[in-house]
Amino acid sequence: MPFDAEQLMNFEIPAAKQTLTRRDCMLYALGVGVGGNPTNVDELRFVYEPELRAMPSMANVLAHPGFWMKAAETGMDWRLILHGEQKFTIHKPLPVEGTLVGHTKVKAIFDRGEGRGANVYLERRVVNEDSGDPVCTLMQTTICRGDGGCGSIGEVDRTRRAIPVRAPDYVCDLATLPQAALLYRLNGDYNPLHADPEVARTAGYDRPILHGLCTFGVASHAILKSCCDYDPDRIRSTSVRFTAPVFPGETIRTEMWNSNGGLSFRSRALERDAVVLGSGWVEFND
């Protein structure tokens, strides 16, 4: 049975409060593979205290509401949910300490038809609790493979950027650990698809898959390394479409193109030559 689209649009996702610590920042960076070269001073700034900075892609996990889609009231078949797209926009340099509040809501639902699933579009605004100042905004597309036929409601911008048809300007290969999903889930996404072999098999995979946001974080690391000299203040926003799963332990190759004042990118699982991230786009601060 598909969920009720109007009911889901009106579902109140609880606000999420996070007391951010330096440990959280280091754990996130380690979870996306930063620190693989522990003598690299550029990587150390994200995993070691003296001059600690937050990875730009850490915006994706700040004040996360948790796996709220598993709640029975949503009517969603949580076992068949996949992450489709993600965008983060940073309004000011991400803090390494402080209390943040995330306000998440369903912005729109696009029904792909009975038996074809539905897309649920979410917005999360993260603010500083004390000042109310915006920290970052997240846009997320969730693909509900078991919920087609629910009806469409609301509107969002569904523009996608094409990858240039030429050789990339930069290429960066970064390996993931076999236990990468078990480490990354400690950032707050406890979907058992990424840890429980039986749940993974039920969803059609022979073993747990890596979080899409972890793959996104690895690609963001590649961009920071290849195009920004590891300066996190260079990045204003990044968006991407998840095109295929990554299995922990695979190597992620990110290909990047300078394009129209920004950066286009895509990533592939090198061992299978499978494109896992597409339509990637980065906007830089001046």
This prediction has a pTM of 0.91
User: In the chain, how many H helices and how many E strands?
Assistant: 6, 10
pLDDT digits (tens, 9 = 90+) for 209-230: 999 999 999 999 999 999 999 9
Q: Is 80 exposed, middle or buried (0-12, 13-18, 19+ CB in 10 A)?
A: middle
Contacts 24+ apart (CB under 8 A), 64-67: 64/16, 64/18, 64/102, 64/124, 64/187, 64/188, 64/189, 65/13, 65/14, 65/15, 65/16, 65/102, 65/104, 65/124, 66/16, 66/188, 66/189, 66/190, 67/189, 67/190, 67/191
For the domain that residue 213 is a member of, what is the CATH number? 3.10.129.10
The gap from C-alpha 174 to its chain's centroid, in whole angstroms, comes to 17
pLDDT of residue 160: 76
Domain that holds residue 82: 5-284
CA 161, CA 57: separation in Å to the nearest integer? 19
Percent over 70 (pLDDT), the chain? 100
How many structural domains does the chain have?
A: 1
Per-residue pLDDT at 46 exceeds 90: yes
Residue 1 has what pLDDT?
66
Mind listing the pLDDT tens digit for each residue in 92-125? Answer: 999 999 999 999 999 999 888 888 889 999 999 9
Q: Are 176 and 210 spatial neighbours (Cβ–Cβ below 8 Å)?
A: yes
